[in-house]
Amino acid sequence: MYVVVRQYSGEGASELFDELVNRRAEVEELIRGVSGFVSYTLARTGDGGVSVTVCQDKTGTDASIQVAASWIKENISMKVAPPTVSEGETILHFGA
C-alpha cells in the first residue's frame, strides 16, 4: 500500500478545512472514486490541517493528489496555499 499526506497551512488553510467538512459527501465520493482506495483521514492542526490517503498502490495515491488539487481549484473560491505533499510506501497499517 501507499500513503500520501497533504499538509495545508498558511493562507486559506483553515477556511479550506471548513469547506471540506461542509461538503463531506462530495469529498467522500471524490476520494472513494480513486482506484485502489483504502482509507482517507482529514485532521485539523493549529494552522490548517492534513489529509492522509491510503491506496493499494502509488497509482492510486498519484490519482488522489490530482483529483484533490482539481477539486480545490474548481470548487474553492478563496486563495489557498499549495500543500506540502509527502508520500511513500506504507510499512504498518492498523484498522479498527
Q: Which domains does the chain have, with CATH numbers?
A: 2-89 (3.30.70.100)
Closest listed residue to residue 68, CA positions, set 40, 44, 88? 40
26-78 confidence digits (pLDDT tens): 999 999 999 999 999 999 998 899 999 999 999 999 999 999 999 999 998 88
pLDDT value of residue 3: 97
pLDDT at 95 over 80: no
Per the model's pLDDT, the better-predicted residue between 95 and 55 turns out to be: 55
pLDDT value of residue 50: 96
Computed over every residue of the chain, the mean pLDDT equals 93
pLDDT at 96 over 80: no
pLDDT at 89 over 90: yes
